[in-house]
């Protein structure tokens, strides 16, 4: 009787593909460095993923490219490209493409006990259109109150199987006096892929940013996420987790000059309920911004390898295209 074998790492990859990313992708390098606490403070084109309402905080035509390098997983590649354009009287619109690629290897034993190996290639593409619009500048204690949405189209294919699906995300954000902000995102609303319904996730974020002595800025992010029927089994009961609550936190220090900025950040997240209790992650990173160029790097690791894909590294480049063209024309 033939017996099939499939490595745990590769099984995680294919589950991640088919389930439309139950492993939180944490798009971009800045949010990754914050440990995932980014929904209330995101200010780059990855807002279409984190919280589409925060697209309204993008003042320049921007292009973003991000690559996720998985240190402990071979044959897997994640790339993200996003474009954002603010339009007067309309809001900020965005288009993005997320590509997850994995080379899957498996095998089975022949009757004589020898191992016969096979390979397969899996690709999941997520094409997104998003928009964020500020509804009002100030009302009572609410400032820059914004709403937004993202429409997602999923496609999935391997050497032997193809599928597609769709869904949408909703977002809301506002700021308060003294540098505080709040963000809320409902992700995977009405989403399905290949006939498989995806449970939505709800994320609430709080942010704080304060600039002092002109050159120094401190930014703090705190997020909480609730998601049903997802992620991993409860290690105590060995049963599938029915409800998952996660907490995320991060802090950033920035040294700000007239046309240059350098930032250091760190953070992490932890499982809180009906999940791998005791597992937590840690992250860190840095970034440089000069005129219309921004280069960001971040890493993340986790204590529980069953609940993550191991150590990851992010490299991200953001270009403010209108600033670049303006600076070139001025010369």
What is the tens place of the pLDDT at every residue in 193-243? 777 787 888 999 999 999 998 899 999 999 999 886 654 555 555 565 555
Q: Give Cα separations from 197 to 19, 49, 143, 233, 296 (angstroms).
A: 9, 19, 36, 19, 35
At residue 196, the pLDDT reads 76
At residue 303, the pLDDT reads 67
At residue 302, the pLDDT reads 75
Strand partners, 245: 226, 273
**Mean pLDDT, range 78-100, rounded to an integer:** 95
The mean predicted confidence, pLDDT, of the chain is 83
Q: What is d(CA 58, CA 54) in angstroms, rounded to the nearest whole number?
A: 8
Q: Give the side-chain half-sphere CA count within 13 A for 188.
A: 21
Instruction: Tell me, rounded to whole angstroms, the distance of Cα 218 from its chain centroid.
Output: 22
Q: Which architecture characterizes domain 4-330 according to CATH? A: Beta Barrel (2.40)
Q: What share of the chain is helix, strand, coil (3-state, %, to 5)?
A: 10, 60, 30
Q: What is the DSSP letter of 280?
A: B
Percent of residues, the chain, with pLDDT higher than 90: 53
Closest CA to 50 of 60, 61, 64: 64
Give ∠ CA 175-282-237 in degrees, rounded to 5.
100
Q: Does residue 324 carry a pLDDT above 80?
A: no
For residues 315 and 298, the answer to whether their CB atoms sit within 8 Å is no
Q: What is d(CA 83, CA 80) in angstroms, rounded to the nearest whole number?
A: 10
For residues 205 and 39, the answer to whether their CB atoms sit within 8 Å is yes
At residue 117, the pLDDT reads 65
**Mean pLDDT, range 64-73, rounded to an integer:** 87
| CB neighbourhood size of 215 (10 A) | 12
* 12-41 residue pLDDT tens: 444 444 444 445 788 999 999 999 999 999
At residue 287, the pLDDT reads 97
Instruction: Tell me, rounded to whole angstroms, the distance of Cα 76 from its chain centroid.
Output: 17
Q: What is the pTM of this model?
A: 0.85
At residue 64, the pLDDT reads 97
């Amino acid at each position: 009787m033939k017996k099939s074998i499939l490595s745990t790492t590769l099984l995680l990859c294919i589950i991640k593909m088919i389930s439309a990313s139950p492993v939180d992708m944490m798009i971009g390098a800045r949010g990754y460095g914050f440990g995932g606490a980014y929904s209330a403070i995101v200010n780059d084109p990855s807002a279409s993923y984190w919280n589409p309402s925060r697209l309204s905080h993008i003042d320049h035509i921007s292009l973003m490219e991000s690559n996720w390098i998985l240190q402990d997983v071979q044959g897997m590649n994640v790339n993200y490209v996003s474009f954002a354009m603010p339009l007067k009287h309309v809001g900020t619109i965005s288009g993005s493409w997320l590509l997850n690629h994995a080379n899957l290897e498996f095998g089975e034993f022949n009757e004589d006990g020898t191992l016969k190996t096979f390979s397969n290639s899996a690709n999941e593409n997520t094409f997104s259109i998003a928009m964020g619009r500020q509804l009002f500048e100030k009302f009572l204690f609410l400032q820059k109150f914004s709403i937004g949405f993202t429409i997602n189209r999923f496609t999935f294919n391997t050497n032997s199987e193809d599928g597609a699906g769709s869904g949408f995300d909703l977002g809301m954000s506002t700021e308060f006096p003294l540098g505080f902000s709040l963000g809320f995102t409902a992700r995977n609303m009405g989403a399905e892929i290949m006939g498989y319904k995806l449970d939505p996730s709800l994320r609430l974020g709080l942010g704080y940013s304060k600039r002092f002595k002109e050159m120094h800025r401190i930014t703090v992010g705190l997020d909480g996420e609730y998601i049903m029927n997802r992620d991993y089994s409860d290690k105590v009961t060995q049963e599938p987790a029915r409800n998952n609550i996660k907490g995320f936190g991060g802090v950033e220090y920035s040294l700000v000059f007239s046309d240059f900025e350098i930032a250091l950040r760190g953070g992490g997240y932890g499982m809180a309920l009906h999940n791998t209790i005791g597992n937590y992650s840690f992250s860190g990173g840095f970034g440089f911004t000069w005129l219309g160029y921004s280069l960001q790097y971040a890493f993340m690791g986790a204590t529980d390898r069953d609940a993550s894909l191991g150590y990851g590294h992010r490299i991200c480049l953001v270009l403010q295209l209108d600033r670049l063209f303006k600076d070139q024309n001025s010369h």
